[in-house]
Amino acid sequence: MKYGKILPGVFLARPNRFIAHVETAGRMEICHVKNTGRCRELLVPGARVWLEESANPARKTRYDLIAVEKMRPDGPLFINMDAQAPNKVFGEWAAAGGLGFVPTLLRPETAYGSSRFDFYWELSEEREARRGFWEVKGVTLEENNAARFPDAPTLRGVKHLEELVQARQAGYEAGVCFVVQMEGMDYVEPNDRTHPEFGAALRRAARAGVEVLALECEAEPGRLAAGRVIPVRL
């Protein structure tokens, strides 16, 4: 996926989870943050960030904050933090055959039970018909070259995993894909320190036949695209 007009800035403050104060082009702008997560390790005063200018002149905020540069001892790490981007990246990748086949149908936002999964897919072949669900989780937390999810407790995430198991037991294929919004990670693992219940639910889901996949992205200020599949350590 590609963005429109991008410009750099310096993060100043985040009064609430929806907006940030950013200095750009010599002035302070109130920007919409396209990620309602905590992101405390990313949005620190003085951090270099990237903004996308909206094409809608009627919007209250002119810019969206979409990416940040995290400072590490071995150098900066560019991280896309747009919460809407992972689904777009996964959808493009899956539609192009990333899962090992080109789906006959790939439909976003499909209800099942009391959940709404990110994607429902079908594959119609001469000898068989397959169908299934995928749930997508964007990953922005990095520690020592490992990507971890979640960065905050997510009861909704646990519920999604439990219902993926139910879908699997009902005869659907089912999977969860961690879309890593940065490059150069060694692996993905559940963040048991922050939310052990999510890690336990992920392991139960894997044992029940739910596919667990991690897709690292090629991340640039104006672009986020599927890169390589990396290991998931359970």
For 51-84, what is each residue's pLDDT tens digit? Answer: 999 988 889 999 999 999 999 988 999 999 999 9
At 96, list the tokens: 């192009």
Residues 126-149 have pLDDT tens digits of 777 999 999 999 999 999 999 999
Closest CA to 81 of 155, 134, 31, 23: 31
Phi-psi region of 145 (alpha: psi -120 to 50; beta: other; left: phi over 0): left
DSSP state of 2: B
pLDDT value at 4 more than 80: yes
* 234 closest CA partner among 180, 151, 168, 178: 178
Kindly report, residue by residue over 209-218, the tens digit of the pLDDT: 999 999 999 9
pLDDT class for 125, splitting at 50, 70, 90?
A: confident
Both tokens of residue 59? 């919007």
Q: What is the pLDDT of residues 189-223, one digit of tens each?
A: 999 999 999 999 999 999 999 999 999 999 999 99
Whether 50 and 44 have beta carbons less than 8 Å apart is answered as no
Directed axis angle between helix 196-207 and helix 155-169, to 10°? 10
- Nearest to 144, CA basis, from 15, 33, 41: 41
Give CA–CA dist 100/114, Å, rounded.
29
